[in-house]
Structure 1
Amino acid sequence: MDEAEFLRGRVYGADHDDAGPRSDRAYAELVGGPLDGLLLDVTDGTDHGSGEVALTTEIGRYGPGGRALYVRRPGDGSRFDWRGDAPGAP
């Protein structure tokens, strides 16, 4: 199994031992980029209200501490599309 297959269906930011989705939470799929196939917890919506997220990742262009930028797909709240990578905060 390659890295992409391993990550698919797992929840971004969850512990490796408990990375599967939970029935009491709502998720959106990350599409494209380094986090492709991961699920983003959007249950409360407060962190994602603008429809844009910058998610910390170790596997993007900027390596450990870098950010993967995703934007909610217009008309489809269940998907966030990759828009690029950014360096992490200094």
Structure 2
Amino acid sequence: MDEREFMRGRVYGADHEDAGPRPGRSYAELVGGPLDGLLLDVTGRPERATGEQVALGTELGRYGPGGRALYAPRSPDGRHYDWRGDAP
């Protein structure tokens, strides 16, 4: 199993031992880019913030350690966030 397949369905930023989704939380799926297939916990985000782009730290992107992957919601429901590029 490769690294991307291993990460699919896991929650971004969660501990490796407990990286699955939790009951009672809301998640958006990250689509494309270095974090493809991970889930982003959006529980409790203000309605206004769910439509905004997010910059997520990752070592897997173009800029390596310290870099960020940029994702923006695909639609107003915020269920999928599409990759927009990488940033230092």
1:24-51 CA-partner distances (Å, limit 9, x unpaired): 11000000000000000000114x8042
Q: May I ask how many residue pairs the two structures share in their alignment? A: 86
- Work out the CA distance in 1 between the residues paired with 2:54 and 2:65: 17
Unmatched runs of 5 consecutive residues or more in structure 2: none
1:83: which partner in 2?
A: 84
Deviations 1:49-84 (A, max 9, x none): 042100000110000110000001124410000000
Structure 1 counterpart of 2:69, one-letter code: A
Where in structure 1 do 4 or more consecutive aligned residues deviate above 4 Å?
none
**3-state SS of paired residue (1:83):** strand
Match of 2:40 in 1: 40
Aligned to 2:56: 55
- TM-score (structure 1 length as normaliser): 0.90
1:77 partner SS: coil
* Structure whose residues are more often strand by fraction: 1
CA distance in structure 2 between the aligned counterparts of 1:32 and 1:60, rounded to whole angstroms: 11
Answer yes or no: is 1:64 the counterpart of 2:65. Answer: yes
Q: What is the aligned-residue RMSD (CA, Å)?
A: 1.3
**Corresponding residue for residue 4 of structure 1:** 4
Quick one: distance in 1 between partners of 2:53 and 2:15?
23
Structure 1 unpaired stretches of 5+:
none
Q: Give % identity.
A: 73
- What is the one-letter code of the residue matched to 1:42? V
